[in-house]
A and B are shown apart, each in its own frame.
Chain A
Amino acid sequence: KAGVTQTPRYLIKTRGQQVTLSCSPISGHRSVSWYQQTPGQGLQFLFEYFSETQRNKGNFPGRFSGRQFSNSRSEMNVSTLELGDSALYLCASSSDQETQYFGPGTRLLVL
């Protein structure tokens, strides 16, 4: 089975812009979660989608949003980018809602 794929792999944006990241889960996995990883805060849960519905949400501001499509692919959007949003954004898919299989990540740099 192919693994989780994420696009793009690298992004450079400026403050105030918005960005959309994409994730395709492992075939058959209906749960997709998004995480932010920074050296200072570690791996932080953003939200989880299942069957096109947001099932769980972490402690991030409303600038961070996501959605899931009928084929389980998911997108994450960050609006009004801030310098502190620079991070590795990881998508993970799961078949049992617990075991997370991570994609390669999108490295976002906000200037």
Chain B
Amino acid sequence: QKEVEQNSGPLSVPEGAIASLNCTYSDRGSQSFFWYRQYSGKSPELIMSIYSNGDKEDGRFTAQLNKASQYVSLLIRDSQPSDSATYLCASISSGGSYIPTFGRGTSLIVHP
């Protein structure tokens, strides 16, 4: 059973701080990883994808991947109240089926 685990939170950070969201996955064959943001009552929207070990930066967002530890993280710098949402981590295995496995999400609250 392929699993993606996330702490449900809520993770509460003050405005302007760095929010760190973490995700672990069970399938060593996972090759592609995605972070989605989902506001309450809305659908998920893609933030970033990462495929190689290391860091990938896009604006205030940095995704980090460590395949040896089966660990993916998302850092949000200069957090804003508008970043308050649930963040979903997803992985896709290299087995050819391309079926994404989603974590249950971490709720982030950025307070002014």
Contacts and interface: CB of A to CB of B under 8 A. Distances in A.
Interface string B77-112: 000000000001010100001111111110000000
A25 interface: no
B56 to A, nearest CB: 14
Given A99-B49, A100-B34, A43 B99 contact: no
A98 B42 contact: no
B interface residue count range (under 10 / 10 to 19 / 20 to 34 / 35 or more): 20 to 34
B43 interface: yes
B103 A100 contact: no
B34 A56 contact: no
Contact of B98 (A43, A56, A102, A104): A56
Interface in A69-111: 88, 90, 97-105
B100 A100 contact: yes
Contacts of B57: none
B62 interface: no
B32 interface: yes
Contact of A97 (B42, B98, B103): B98
B32 A98 contact: yes
A42 B105 contact: yes
Nearest to A88: B43
Nearest to A94: B98
Contacts of A55: 98
Nearest to A102: B43
Contact of B43 (A56, A58, A99, A105): A105
Given A100-B46, A103-B43, A43 B88 contact: yes
A43 B102 CA distance: 6
A104 B42 contact: yes
Name, among A88, A98, A99, the residue most crowded by chain B CB atoms within 10 Å (CB to CB). A98
5 contacts: A42-B103, A44-B102, A88-B43, A90-B43, A100-B44
